[in-house]
Structure 1
Amino acid sequence: AEKDRSIKKSTDLVVSGKPDWKDIDQALFRSMGQAILEFRDSYPYFKGPFKDMGYAIQRTLPGEHYHWHIDGGSHDFSQRQLVAVWYLNDVEGPGGETEFLFQDIRVKPEQGKLVLFPPFWTHEHRGVTLQAGVKYIATTWVVFA
């Protein structure tokens, strides 16, 4: 089945399980582990054990975007408890922010920034259409182990 490019227009690469990307996969895993420890300090009832669903790198070019969506739901998405988005570069912009509908905020892509949020209907979000430059992010979802 072909993707509906009106919903999401970007280039995605799953890196987990690929030998050439092992160092990147391990770096993201370590970063996620540290972030979970810090997250638990703020939210003590966020208890595991947890695991990630593997990591993907996404490239967004000028004119590309990701329409409003949530990352949770039924069936394959029902186990997701947390979304992780790493910004891998600064974006020249304008555009490229991650916008959260109900929180009325936009997160500017800055290299090294990690954003964690629930995958549920409370955090409907989108990748704002990029006007200039290139945006690279890494993503995963945290599930119960």
Structure 2
Amino acid sequence: MTDFIARHHAHVPAETCEALIQLFRDADKRKATHQGLTGVRVDKARKDSLDLASAKIPPKLREKYAAPLEQYFTLLGEAHKAYVERYTELQYPRTFEHGVYSFNIQRYYPGGQAYHAWHYENAHPKAAHRILAWMTYLNTVASGGETEFLHQGLKVHPEQGLTLIWPAGFTHTHRGLPHRDGLKLIITGWFEYAPRGRGG
């Protein structure tokens, strides 16, 4: 892991991935999804996706999918623990406590949808609290759809259950590439300092 990108292969069971995909579909039927945002605006030239923000999940769906959500975030917590055990600078008190406070499930259609723009995760003062980014591919993509890291010269192919964790700063500028067939779905978010009012 000399590139500081952790790769947890087959980390999340297929049935958990499929349940999270179904959560997205059910939320989409209830019109709880929205066009993907870059910051606070829609710019399809930069990011073209359909997103489900955790804050927008209807209560009935959150209850229905409580078990797979709990299982997923337990596994993500284990992956984070392994990361900070490797990079002890991220442990308290060298770095303040940080956790997951929100997430997004994103769907990309073939033939052009992707997060086209090179970007990194704490590029704005309002995002400076982000320490690490994380992402799990919820399905395998046959052709294309890689996550490309600029400075590492790396392309990661989407495989169901594969989880990535990487630093949120400019050193890990990245983008998503378009794919040719089928759908691409991911769940993604950040390990970040607690928002105001959620701890200290």
Pair in the same fold by TM > 0.5: yes
Paired position in structure 2 for 1:7:
46
User: What are the within-5 Å matches in structure 2 for residues 42-61 of structure 1?
Assistant: 42-48=86-92, 49-61=97-109
1:94-114 deviations in whole A, cap 9, x for unaligned? x10000000000000001110
Contact 1:9 1:64 in 2 (8 A): yes
Deviation, 1:140, is 1.1
Gaps of 5+ in 1: none
CA shift in 2, pair 1:78/1:86, >3 Å: same
Instruction: Identify the range of structure 1 (77-86 vs 2-11) with the bigger mean alpha-carbon deviation.
Output: 2-11
Q: Does 1:32 align with 2:76?
A: yes
Instruction: Identify the range of structure 1 (54-63 vs 78-87) with the bigger mean alpha-carbon deviation.
Output: 54-63
Query: The residue matched to 1:109 in structure 2 has which SS?
Result: coil
Q: Distance in 1 between matches of 2:53 and 2:100?
A: 13
Query: The residue matched to 1:126 in structure 2 has which SS?
Result: strand
Paired position in structure 2 for 1:124:
173
Q: Does 1:110 align with 2:159?
A: yes
Alignment RMSD: 1.7
Gaps of 5+ in 2: 1-39, 195-200
* Higher percent of residues as strand: 1
* Higher percent of residues as helix: 2
Deviation, 1:28, is 3.0
Q: Distance in 2 between matches of 1:50 and 1:109?
A: 27
Q: How high is the TM-score relative to the length of structure 2?
A: 0.67
Identity %: 34
Q: Distance in 2 between matches of 1:24 and 1:12?
A: 19
Structure with greater contact order relative to length (CA < 8 Å, sep ≥ 6): 1
1:73-130 deviations in whole A, cap 9, x for unaligned? 232200000000001111121x100000000000000011100011111011000012
Q: Please identify the structure whose Cα radius of gyration is greater.
A: 2
Query: The residue matched to 1:32 in structure 2 has which SS?
Result: helix
Q: Distance in 1 between matches of 2:50 and 2:172?
A: 23
